[in-house]
Chain A
């Protein structure tokens, strides 16, 4: 019973249809969660006693930073699955994740930079979190660069999968070495995320936007995945029916 479900997951036509049906649910939930979270964070939450109104950028910055890592893990895991068990859909998922993750990373860097600009007057600091995000962006760019360098889709899939898996092993190493490097030099830290004892009026919108961005990722992934499937299976017979129906 469970096996047939698993096998269906590996079938491009099935996923193509499933993704189409699921996308509206995810998209609308994301809109609701992010909308509600932003409303609560921008208007309802009281100003931070240290940072005033500036802290509100956290409602966009924190989710994007969190997503940049989460998407990389998703990419690495699905690439690994595709590599080991030779499941083509898994490779399509990984390929679809990359641009989304890179965009989240870029957004995290930009929002972090804006935040730093307001707080410290400088728009860039060699803070360990910023540097880690920057290196993560390089990892994403490397993955996408390797993919685009190869004409043969299968080879691009498998080579970039090796890279993604190597990347996943390296992300903690890079993160801790950057942290270690930073601790030696006592550079100012931009991201004061605030103590865990945030009042509920601040915390709830944050959790809402966090969840909302996760759901948004799911929606974006499904949309990109359908496009990936179309591209990969364009010579297959089921495509003609699926597209015209």
Chain B
């Protein structure tokens, strides 16, 4: 093992491979603690149940408020799920190693956020129509709900990653994280609820869906940059 170390090795990992490894690691870790993955979904179900209890058991009334209920519950449960994004890595030093890896931190954090979406946003997109049906939403609206929650949760994960990165190391940061993330997530709520409402009415829901997509794209391009800056600041 006496090879000179100063020669730069040509076996450096490409950016794509690094991102793939980060994503694979996060997914593998989450699957080993499957109980934790279920929590945001259970929270979503519970919150959705609160509204009929607080409003009325009549499906006709629930159908009217269903877009708002679904989306508020989705926003809140995605807030809860943000716990899993950076906290563990920050505590055991692996986030630090990402910063020191020689790879672009923005890109690695983007990979982490994608993994986070796969583990929390996508399952939410599957659960939301079920909750909608329980609120009296017609079956024809299911595709609209799935699409809008799937795209909207991409934006929510990205926006949330900024707040999560900013509050790293802050004790009892739950309320602060909500205060930071929810105002920024309001456009997603507005467009997502509108898309859901149109889907329920049977009308074309493409325009708000495109707007959701635009928010998601904006998030993809800008949010990892802000999150990377925030992570570096938390390690200073």
CB–CB A178/B190 < 8 A: yes
Chain A, residue nearest B194 (CB) = A184
Question: How far apart are the CA atoms of A109 and B170 in the complex, in Å?
Answer: 31
In the assembled complex, the CB of B96 is this many whole angstroms from the nearest CB of chain A, namely 15
The answer to whether B179 touches A155 (Cβ under 8 A) is no
Contact residue among A162, A177, A178, A184 (Cβ-Cβ distance under 8 Å from B230):
A162
Q: Is B167 an interface position by the 8 A CB rule?
A: yes
Of A40-48, A95-103, A166-174, A236-244, the one with at least 4 CB within 8 A of chain B: A166-174
Interface assignment of B103: CB less than 8 Å from any CB of chain A = no
Question: Is B166 touching A163 in the complex (CB atoms < 8 A)?
Answer: yes
Interface string of B209-235 (1 = CB under 8 A from A): 001000100100010001001100110
With A146-B166, A178-B190, A181-B190 as known contacts, state yes or no: A155 contacts B233, CB within 8 Å.
Answer: yes
When C-beta atoms are compared, the residue in chain B nearest to A150 turns out to be B170
How far apart are the CA atoms of A191 and B180 in the complex, in Å? 28
CB distance B166 to A155 under 8 Å? no
A199 to B47, CA, bound (A): 54
The yes or no answer to B81 lying at the interface (CB within 8 A) is: no
Q: Is the interface of A mostly helix, strand, loop or mixed?
A: helix
Q: Which residues of A contact B190 (CB under 8 A)?
A: 177-178, 180-181
Quick one: CB contact mask for B169-194 with A, threshold 8 Å, 1 for yes? 01001001001101110110011001
Contact of B226 among A158, A162, A174, A184 (CB under 8 A): A162
Contacts of B79 in A (CB 8 A): none
Report the minimum CB–CB distance from A138 to chain B (whole Å). 4
Instruction: Identify the interface centre among A146, A155, A166, A180: most chain B CB within 10 Å of its CB.
Output: A166
A138 contact set on B, CB distance < 8 A: 179, 182-183
Pair A169/B183 contact, Cβ less than 8 Å: no
B236 at the interface (CB under 8 A from A): yes
Among B180, B229, B236, which residue has its beta carbon within 8 angstroms of that of A154?
Answer: B236
* B162 contacts partner chain A, Cβ-Cβ < 8 Å: yes
Known interface pairs A146-B167, A181-B194. Does A174 touch B186 (Cβ–Cβ under 8 Å)? yes
Q: Are A159 and B186 in contact (CB under 8 A)?
A: no
Given A155-B234, A181-B194, check contact A170 B176 (CB 8 Å): no
- Tell me if A149 and B229 are in contact (CB < 8 A): no
Contact between B180 and A142, CB atoms less than 8 A apart: yes
A18 to B141 Cα, complex, angstroms: 64
When distances are taken between beta carbons in the complex, the residues of chain B under 8 Å from A229 are none
Residues A158 and B236 in contact, CB atoms below 8 Å apart: yes
Instruction: Verify A166–B184 contact, CB threshold 8 A.
Output: yes
Interface string of A156-200 (1 = CB under 8 A from B): 001100110111011001100110110010000000000000000
Q: How far is the CA of A174 from the CA of B185 in the complex (A)?
A: 9
| Cβ A155 vs Cβ B236 within 8 A | yes
Most buried by B among A145, A162, A181: A162
Residues from chain B with Cβ under 8 Å of A155 in the complex: 233-234, 236
* Contact between B233 and A135, CB atoms less than 8 A apart: no
Complex CA–CA separation, A184 to B205 (angstroms): 14
Q: Beyond the given A149-B170, A177-B190, could you list 7 further A-B residue pairs with CB under 8 A, ordered by the A residue number?
A: A142-B183, A146-B166, A158-B236, A159-B166, A163-B180, A169-B222, A174-B187
A-B contact pairs, 28 of them (CB 8 A): A138-B179, A138-B182, A139-B183, A141-B179, A142-B180, A142-B183, A145-B180, A146-B167, A146-B176, A149-B173, A149-B176, A154-B236, A155-B233, A159-B166, A162-B226, A162-B229, A162-B230, A162-B233, A166-B226, A169-B222, A170-B184, A173-B215, A174-B183, A177-B187, A177-B190, A180-B211, A181-B190, A184-B194
Binding site for B on A (CB under 8 A): 83, 135, 138-139, 141-142, 145-146, 149-150, 154-155, 158-159, 162-163, 165-167, 169-170, 173-174, 177-178, 180-181, 184
